[in-house]
């Protein structure tokens, strides 16, 4: 079955700010000219932003001088992203869309606080219906450690959920939410212990079908792929972004690559080999990538690699 190409417009430029990630580093000098550390761009002289096991990025996509702002994921804690934005002197009221990468707590934990701060009527929260279901992981005995659940829509007033499984253009067609990502790469097997409560019982959910990514295309540079955890597999994710946009050139990949943990660390080497074929100019492994994978990516792609920090700003 042929994949329909979406008509993703080329952005004049992008500005991406890391609102939440697992680490902070305000002292190291940048390794790429596109990157500004927090102290290099922020005028704030107040408290420094904080890190947590979670992920969130503010994406400003420009057409000419006009920008549309997208909040991609909202971290783990109820107020972490809101507090970090305040410390960075960023007004979340500029956000026109909230996009959730998937239905795990470390990506939607700050959703209520963010929506309240944005405070826009009918603010679209781009989601997948599976995100509304109970989730958890199973241990070796089959016992389930249940995660917290996504807030119900009445808790998020005046926002609204917009569900998609297929690729969906937003921000006047300058950004694309992929929807469900086909699983084709043989070594990207998902999260085997993951479970979802469906039809009255806990079911295997290793594919985590609600996992998706945000794709943009910068004029003269190529695709920018922003993943939350890449449970679909970062290679599956990038290749699908290429397919649905009809664009081969991948300029930058930012976000979680999910290569941490004993089982996932076996996938580092084949992931590196596949990345060599894709050959992005900028690689920013974040959140759940893990230090072993991040170090391996640095070794293989030292000219492209950037260690993300809360407060990093990317000018693409």
For residue 4, CA distances in Å to 217, 237, 240, 264, 303 come to: 17, 16, 11, 32, 34
Can you read off the two tokens belonging to residue 298?
A: 């640095």
Task: Please say if the pLDDT value at position 223 is more than 80.
Answer: yes
Cα separation, 234 vs 256, in Å, equals 8
Confidence (pLDDT) at 45: 78
Task: Please say if the pLDDT value at position 62 is more than 70.
Answer: yes
Domain ranges of the chain: 13-180+189-315
Cα separation, 246 vs 244, in Å, equals 6
* Pairing outcome for strands 160-163 and 124-127: parallel
Task: Please say if the pLDDT value at position 227 is more than 90.
Answer: yes
Confidence (pLDDT) at 123: 98
Q: Are 273 and 242 in contact (CB under 8 A)?
A: no
Q: What percentage of the chain carries pLDDT values higher than 70?
A: 99
Cα separation, 70 vs 63, in Å, equals 14
Half-sphere exposure of residue 288: CA atoms within 13 angstroms, side-chain side: 23
Task: Please say if the pLDDT value at position 3 is more than 90.
Answer: no
Which one has a higher pLDDT value, 56 or 192? 56
pLDDT of 124-138, one tens digit each?
Answer: 999 999 999 999 999
Confidence (pLDDT) at 1: 58
pLDDT confidence of 173, banded at 50, 70, 90? very high
Task: Please say if the pLDDT value at position 201 is more than 70.
Answer: yes
Mean pLDDT confidence for 265-269: 97
Confidence (pLDDT) at 11: 98
Alpha helices in 8-130 (DSSP H): 38-41, 80-87, 105-108, 111-118
Phi, psi (deg, nearest 5) at residue 292: -65, -45
Confidence (pLDDT) at 44: 81
Q: Are 225 and 201 in contact (CB under 8 A)?
A: no
Cα separation, 157 vs 202, in Å, equals 30
Confidence (pLDDT) at 160: 97
pLDDT of 289-308, one tens digit each?
Answer: 999 999 999 999 999 999 99
Mean pLDDT confidence for 217-223: 98
Task: Please say if the pLDDT value at position 2 is more than 80.
Answer: no
Q: b/e for 138-167, b at 16 or more Cβ within 10 A?
A: beeeeeeeebeebbeeeebeebebbebeeb
Can you read off the two tokens belonging to residue 13?
A: 């430029």
Confidence (pLDDT) at 43: 84
Confidence (pLDDT) at 46: 81
Confidence (pLDDT) at 239: 98
For residue 82, CA distances in Å to 61, 86, 89, 117 come to: 21, 6, 10, 7
Task: Please say if the pLDDT value at position 234 is more than 70.
Answer: yes
Q: Are 215 and 225 in contact (CB under 8 A)?
A: yes
DSSP state of 28: S
Specify the pTM: 0.97
Residue in this structure with the two tokens 């002289």, named with its chain if needed = 45
In the CATH scheme, what is the code of domain 13-180+189-315?
3.60.15.10
Half-sphere exposure of residue 138: CA atoms within 13 angstroms, side-chain side: 15
pLDDT of 50-61, one tens digit each?
Answer: 999 999 999 999
């Amino acid at each position: 079955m042929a994949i329909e190409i979406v008509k993703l417009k080329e952005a004049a430029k992008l500005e991406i700010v890391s609102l939440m990630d697992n680490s902070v580093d305000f002292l190291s000098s940048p390794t790429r000219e596109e990157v500004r550390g927090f102290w290099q761009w922020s005028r704030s002289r107040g408290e420094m932003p904080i890190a947590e096991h979670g992920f969130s990025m503010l994406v400003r996509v420009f057409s000419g001088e006009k920008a549309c702002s997208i909040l991609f994921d909202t971290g783990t804690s109820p107020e972490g992203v809101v507090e970090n934005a305040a410390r960075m002197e960023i007004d979340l009221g500029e956000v026109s869309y909230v996009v959730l990468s998937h239905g795990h707590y470390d990506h939607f934990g700050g959703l209520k606080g963010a929506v309240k701060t944005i405070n826009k009527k009918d603010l679209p929260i781009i989601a997948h219906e599976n995100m509304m279901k109970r989730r958890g992981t199973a241990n070796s005995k089959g016992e389930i450690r249940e995660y917290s659940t996504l807030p119900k829509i009445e808790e998020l007033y005046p926002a609204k959920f917009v569900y998609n499984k297929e690729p969906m253009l937003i921000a006047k067609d300058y950004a694309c939410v992929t929807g469900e990502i086909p699983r084709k790469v043989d070594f990207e097997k998902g999260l085997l212990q993951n479970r979802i409560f469906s039809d009255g019982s806990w079911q295997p959910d290793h594919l985590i079908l609600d996992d998706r990514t945000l794709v943009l295309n910068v004029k003269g540079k190529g695709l920018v792929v922003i993943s939350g955890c890449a449970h679909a597999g970062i290679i599956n994710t990038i290749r699908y972004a290429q397919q649905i946009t009809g664009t081969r050139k991948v300029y930058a990949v930012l976000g979680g690559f999910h290569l941490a943990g004993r089982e996932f660390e076996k996938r580092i080497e084949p992931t590196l080999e596949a990345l060599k074929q894709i050959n992005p100019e900028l690689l920013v492994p974040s959140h759940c990538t893990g230090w072993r994978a991040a170090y391996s990516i640095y070794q293989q792609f030292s000219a492209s690699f950037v260690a993300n920090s809360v407060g990093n700003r990317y000018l693409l």
